[in-house]
Amino acid sequence: MANVFNQMPAGILFGTLFYILFFLAALTSFIGAFEGITAWLRDLFNIPRNKGVFIVGIVVMLIAAVSSASTKIFLIADYIANNIFLILGALIMSIFVGWVWKIPNFIKAAAVESKRSENLWVFLIKYLAPVVILVTWLSQLGILK
């Protein structure tokens, strides 16, 4: 990206803005994830928010320290997160929405108004998405080639 910004007119300005905005996007995503984990701790263990934030912060710092100290550990964690949990989560979400939560609830939550669109969503979520996600996952794991 640095080479792209170097070749653009006013590239230093746009590059600086890009990286500042990228940092802010990452920071707000981190805060959102951090808040979710903290709320879960508060609900599960009935602890005050400041104590939950402290506990989550310590755990995150320990995980970051371990993964930054060893490239091998970082690569293993990256592989597990991206190639197993991310795709498995998508598969579970698709199955849950299509078969457990049911499509009418999804249609209502997504505010789909067209009946034709509703039928398309039924096909996509109940049948196509789980198959595509499963095939993607199996090929990612090297089971399908």
Q: Alpha helix locations (H) across the chain?
A: 2-7, 11-45, 49-69, 71-80, 86-95, 103-110, 115-122, 129-140
Per-residue pLDDT of 70-80, as tens digits, reads 888 888 888 89
Domain residue extents for the chain? 1-69, 70-145
pLDDT of residue 74: 84
pLDDT of residue 25: 96
- C-alpha distance from residue 91 to each of 77, 81, 109, 125, 126 (Å): 20, 14, 20, 10, 11
pLDDT of residue 69: 84
- C-alpha distance from residue 49 to each of 5, 85, 86, 109, 132 (Å): 42, 28, 28, 30, 40
CB 56 within 8 A of CB 38: yes
pLDDT of residue 15: 93
pLDDT of residue 16: 94
pLDDT of residue 26: 93
Given a cut of 70, the residues of the chain with pLDDT beneath it are none
CB atoms < 10 A from the CB of 138, how many? 13
pLDDT of residue 113: 83
CB 73 within 8 A of CB 104: no
pLDDT of residue 118: 85
